[in-house]
Structure 1
């Protein structure tokens, strides 16, 4: 990748280091690294731009992008369910790019860890993990930007999470874009925090460090059986037309239940915990210390109860 900036990922399942192939990396570099791009930044990060672009991914014509996308990013499409046109081969079964984007796994493709003291990966994504949210935390964004109070957007609610563990799960456009509950429990409250829609790609974070607290996000405060109280934060991103809640939040949830999904674009889920309740997985912590994200499949272990 140009500018001497490669995104290295440790793939836990394959036990190897990968270089991420970035969808739209030229656009991200232009928007955040180029002086003209920075002038256009407010427009690119506006909701109107993302909603218009997101809407274009609902068109029948957008389905033509699916087959080249699968080939370019080597996506194992046979793991997923077909789209609306079930009589077609899977590559041409989706009625739009957005329908492909929110594709579901076939039954049995992913399973959540059965052990109560192990937290299941709530997204199939690239993870950073920290044992303690503190003011000198600087991966992947600088210092106080990752204080719970800034992420949650409510001083009173954030008190429960100061000094607690934190995980950041970054989803790329190539990924499965549904997110799930990491344990059994219930929703105490949920609300949206309005904001912009900047890219959450590391290329963008390199130029702009306050993205997680500037972006549109949705916060759910969860009471879980084995990991205490969690702040589950879905962060919007450029071209994410919508963050959709597919679960009825008035009802209790089970580990592995689908919580919702992101329509087109790369996106992020941030999970904040109470101090001393759990700790992110050892490999995630070690990789984070080295500035490397860990790619983890949905349902695999991401944290251990203390």
Structure 2
């Protein structure tokens, strides 16, 4: 892989292609594009290293990184709630980098589509989407790695999702890192699948085709009102200190309710559906065929029922 590798993303709101500015770009290239880095892969992808690094982002001293980070990545910080130190300017209001990392949107900044036939974006992220999972899929990883049984890790539970639609929402370190329910419903079953913590950066995916089934992940099987059963899969990544479930899964949920959040690191949410129940939005499908992700804001339309 050349050092000139760039991540292109289609911005739905600007109707234009953009080059993603990657946090930690040099480290990702070293870890996955350098022979020495690949030798160190088991250490880099270890849970212990990510937990240690994640804990460092909880320290008071880590708050010093917030203001430079906001400036470097042009984050619209006015869209978010302040942190623990509410009497200070918002850039200085977060007690740690992790508190900034899991910042919440201000009331009214994002709204979920109110239409029952439209699925709301469950994360503010860069989306790939397929109308059906099959072995010929080539984006973003080899098709065999996108089989429902491999993603879910349970043959019996995966039966409902064979040949069904699939969406992959990749969150960057610069993004809002809370994830939400795309429709009304209830949780049928939820469990964790142990694994590594490789980067989910597209560069890493080019070198490691099995990241989504090798990484640690949490699976929830949801029964939704308008989209049938969904397998909602949160995938850990390098330096993700923790995947936190903030919603009481014993209770029914509503479209737009917060489900949980990732502590520091880039992360991914994968959504699998039942065959013939829904299809990702046209722009997601078109861009995916071209090997390009689509940037979509939380709550905007990402799929529709047939």
Cα contact 2:81–2:105 (8 A) shared by 1: yes
Paired position in structure 2 for 1:129: 129
State how 1:1-306 maps to structure 2 within 5 Å: 3-306=3-306
Measure the CA separation in 1 of the matches of 2:218 and 2:128. Answer: 20
Deviation of 1:2 (Å):
5.8
Cα contact 1:13–1:297 (8 A) shared by 2: no
Measure the CA separation in 2 of the matches of 1:184 and 1:249. Answer: 13
Instruction: List structure 1 runs of 4+ shifted beyond 4 angstroms.
Output: none
Cα contact 1:161–1:274 (8 A) shared by 2: yes
**TM-score normalised by structure 2 residue count:** 0.99
Secondary structure in 1 aligned to 2:40? helix
Measure the CA separation in 2 of the matches of 1:21 and 1:203. Answer: 13
Encode CA deviations 1:50-88: one digit per residue, 9 max, x unaligned.
000000000000000000000100000000000000000
Secondary structure in 2 aligned to 1:204? helix
Alignment length (residue pairs): 306
Encode CA deviations 1:278-305: one digit per residue, 9 max, x unaligned.
0000000000000000000000000001
Measure the CA separation in 2 of the matches of 1:140 and 1:75. Answer: 27
Deviation of 1:15 (Å):
1.4
Cα contact 2:84–2:95 (8 A) shared by 1: yes
Cα contact 1:128–1:285 (8 A) shared by 2: yes
Measure the CA separation in 2 of the matches of 1:12 and 1:253. Answer: 28
Secondary structure in 2 aligned to 1:220? strand
Measure the CA separation in 2 of the matches of 1:35 and 1:118. Answer: 45
Measure the CA separation in 2 of the matches of 1:185 and 1:143. Answer: 30
Deviation of 1:203 (Å):
1.0
Cα contact 2:3–2:29 (8 A) shared by 1: no
Q: Which runs of 5+ in 2 are unaligned?
A: none
Measure the CA separation in 1 of the matches of 2:93 and 2:3. Answer: 38
Measure the CA separation in 2 of the matches of 1:197 and 1:130. Answer: 25
CA RMSD of aligned residues (A): 0.9
Deviation of 1:4 (Å):
3.2
Q: Which runs of 5+ in 1 are unaligned?
A: none
Cα contact 1:227–1:277 (8 A) shared by 2: yes
Measure the CA separation in 1 of the matches of 2:14 and 2:226. Answer: 29
Measure the CA separation in 1 of the matches of 2:148 and 2:25. Answer: 29
Deviation of 1:3 (Å):
2.4
